[in-house]
Amino acid sequence: MAGKLDGKVAIVTAGGAGIGAATARRFAAEGAAVVVADLSGTRAEQVRGEIVAAGGRAAAIKMDAAEPDAVEAAVRLAIDGFGRLDVLFNNAGMAEVSLLHETSLESWNRVIAVTLTSTFLGLKFALPIMRAQKSGAIVNTASISGTRGDYGMGSYNAAKAGVINLTRSAALENAHHGVRVNCVCPGAINTRVAQVMGKDRADDFRRTMGAAHPLGRMGEPEEIAATVTFLASDEAAFITGASVVVDGGLTAWTGLPRMPGAK
């Protein structure tokens, strides 16, 4: 049976871990040749090796998604290595926890650069190629934090809201050139929490974050990868400019307590 992305060439930014790695593997399993781009060349190479070992096609590149030359180099690698570019998954992003009045300009600029400017750069270098070939699909990683506010996450909220509206603008500008642009808005996803926080704190974090979601758990990277793959595929041919929420029901809730008598 043919895969959803048979014959297509894709770039995945921040593809060395978490959602990016899961999506790179899923793209390859669905028939795409994948350029795995990550700030860590080691992680990018590891994911590339996994894809090749499973019978897929992939290349790896060390890339800072906030640096224009690096993003352009990843696009060139796709063209030089595989002959075209059909799919771009703009997945790079970061957060730094700080109250707004305590946030340094350096921290603000860093979060905006890695989360929002990186998305702009991916669009800037991929769109001319896709417009010329009259086809292409771009998926950006936004967040439910781009649709709501978080305590102590102002820079991240602003950056992800920017990704959502940038997605809409790009979709409008490129629809008549056959290029679709959408974004995915995950809830809390079980990625590298244990590595960052340590096992005990990570377990507490997972329980707390999972309890906030009506489904009672955090999401898994593979669940976001499934949505991204759908949006990148021809099955989503009539979807552009959309922000697809994948959050276990979190944003469906008003936040008000359960009504008396409701079970």
* pLDDT of 257: 85
Output the pLDDT for position 48: 98
- Name 79's Cβ contacts closer than 8 Å, sequence gap at least 6: 85, 129
**Burial class (CB within 10 angstroms; exposed 0-12, middle 13-18, buried 19+) of 108:** middle
How far from the centroid of its chain's Cα atoms is residue 52's Cα? 22
Q: What is the arithmetic mean of pLDDT over 12-30?
A: 98
Q: Convert the pLDDT of each residue in 210-261 to its tens digit.
A: 999 999 999 999 999 999 999 999 999 999 999 999 999 999 998 888 888 7
What is the rounded CA–CA span in Å between residue 170 and residue 183? 11
pLDDT value at residue 1: 59
Give the Cα separation of 240 and 136 in Å (integer). 11
Q: What is the pLDDT of residues 85-124, one digit of tens each?
A: 999 999 999 999 999 999 999 999 999 999 999 999 999 9
Catalytic residue check, 156:
yes
Helices (H), the chain: 18-29, 41-53, 68-82, 105-112, 118-133, 154-174, 193-197, 199-212, 221-232
Do residues 99 and 152 touch, judged by C-beta distance below 8 A?
A: yes
Q: Which residue has the tokens 């990625």?
A: 191
| Residue of 27, 89, 156, 205 marked catalytic | 156
Average the pLDDT over 50-61 and give the result: 98
Which residue segments constitute the domains of the chain, with CATH numbers given? Answer: 9-192+221-246 (3.40.50.720)
pTM of the model: 0.95
Q: Alpha helix (H) ranges present in 30-112? A: 41-53, 68-82, 105-112
Q: Is 39 exposed, middle or buried (0-12, 13-18, 19+ CB in 10 A)?
A: buried
Token pair in block for residue 83: 């002959």
Contacts of 211 (CB under 8 A, 6+ apart): none
Instruction: Check if the beta carbon of residue 7 is closer than 8 Å to that of residue 46.
Output: no
